[in-house]
Chain A
Amino acid sequence: MARKLLLEHINVPGINTLEVYRQQGGYRAVEKALKTLTPDEVVEEVKKSGLRGRGGAGFPTGMKWSFLAKPEGVERYLVCNADESEPGTFKDRYLMTYIPHALIEGMIVASFALGAKTSYIYVRGEMMPQIRILEKAIAEAKNAGFLGKNILGTGYDLELYVQPGGGAYICGEETALIESLEGKRGNPRIKPPFPAIAGLYNCPTVVNNVESIAAIVPIINDGGDEYAKVGIGRSTGTKLISAGGNLNKPGVYEIELGLPVEEFIYSDEYCGGIANGKRLKAVVAGGSSVPILPANLILKTLNGESRLMSYESLADGGFATGTMMGSGGFIAFDEDQCIVRNTWNFTRFYHHESCGQCSPCREGTGWMEKVLHRLEYGHGKLSDMDLLVDVSKKIEGNTICPLGDAAAWPVASAIRHFRDEFEWHVTNPQEAVQRNYGLAHYADPLPPVGEPA
Chain B
Amino acid sequence: MSDLIKVTIDGITVDVAPGTSILNAARQIGGEIVPPAMCYYSKLEGSGGKCRTCLVKVSKGSEKDPRPMPKLVASCRTGVMDGMEVQNITSPEVVEARKGVVEMLLINHPLDCPVCDQAGECHLQDLGYEHGLSSTRYEFERRTFDRIDIGDKIQLHMTRCILCYRCVFTADQITNQRVHGVLGRGDAAEISTYIEKAIDNDFSGNVIDVCPVGALTDKTFRFKNRVWFTKPVDAHRDCPTCSGKVTLWYKGEDVIRVTARKDQFGEVEEFICNTCRFDQKKTSDWVIEGPRAISNQSVISSNHYDTLKPLPVIKTNLQLQQSNKDQFERATKL
Bits for B154-193, please: 1 = Cβ < 8 Å to A, else 0: 0000000011000000000000000000101111110000
B71 within 8 A of A: yes
Shortest beta-carbon distance, B49 to chain A, in Å? Answer: 4
B77 within 8 A of A: yes
Bits for A345-374, please: 1 = Cβ < 8 Å to B, else 0: 000000111111111101111110010000
B137 within 8 A of A: yes
Contacts A360-B104, A362-B163 known; list 7 others, CB within 8 Å: A168-B185, A190-B49, A351-B186, A356-B163, A356-B187, A362-B186, A363-B187
- Cβ B104 vs Cβ A394 within 8 A: yes
B104 CB contacts on chain A under 8 angstroms? 359-360, 362-364, 367, 394
Decide: A359 near B101, CB < 8 A? Known: A367-B138, A370-B140: yes
A428 within 8 A of B: no
The binding surface of chain A is classed by DSSP as helix
B256 within 8 A of A: no
A185 within 8 A of B: yes
A400 within 8 A of B: yes
B138 CB contacts on chain A under 8 angstroms? 367
14 chain-A/chain-B pairs, Cβ below 8 angstroms: A354-B187, A355-B185, A356-B163, A356-B187, A359-B51, A359-B162, A360-B101, A363-B187, A364-B104, A365-B186, A394-B100, A394-B104, A398-B55, A398-B72
B50 within 8 A of A: yes
B52 within 8 A of A: yes
Instruction: For B184, give the chain A residue with the smallest CB separation.
Output: A356
Shortest beta-carbon distance, A444 to chain B, in Å? Answer: 35
Interface bracket on A: 20 to 34
CA distance A355 to B49 in the complex (A): 14
Instruction: For B77, give the chain A residue with the smallest CB separation.
Output: A190
Bits for B101-134, please: 1 = Cβ < 8 Å to A, else 0: 1011101100000000000000000000000000
A399 within 8 A of B: yes
- Cβ A400 vs Cβ B49 within 8 A: yes
List the 3 closest pairs (A to B, CB-CB), nearest first: A394-B100, A356-B189, A190-B49
CA distance A190 to B163 in the complex (A): 16
Interface bracket on B: 20 to 34
A398 CB contacts on chain B under 8 angstroms? 52, 55, 71-72, 97, 100-101
- Cβ B100 vs Cβ A360 within 8 A: yes
- Cβ A360 vs Cβ B52 within 8 A: yes
Shortest beta-carbon distance, B68 to chain A, in Å? Answer: 13
Shortest beta-carbon distance, B18 to chain A, in Å? Answer: 14
- Cβ B107 vs Cβ A358 within 8 A: no
Interface residue ranges of B88-107 to A (CB < 8 Å): 97, 100-101, 103-105, 107
B210 within 8 A of A: no
B26 within 8 A of A: no
B74 within 8 A of A: yes
Shortest beta-carbon distance, A412 to chain B, in Å? Answer: 14
B185 CB contacts on chain A under 8 angstroms? 168, 185, 354-356
Decide: A399 near B52, CB < 8 A? Known: A363-B104, A363-B105: yes
CA distance A356 to B105 in the complex (A): 12
CA distance A365 to B186 in the complex (A): 9
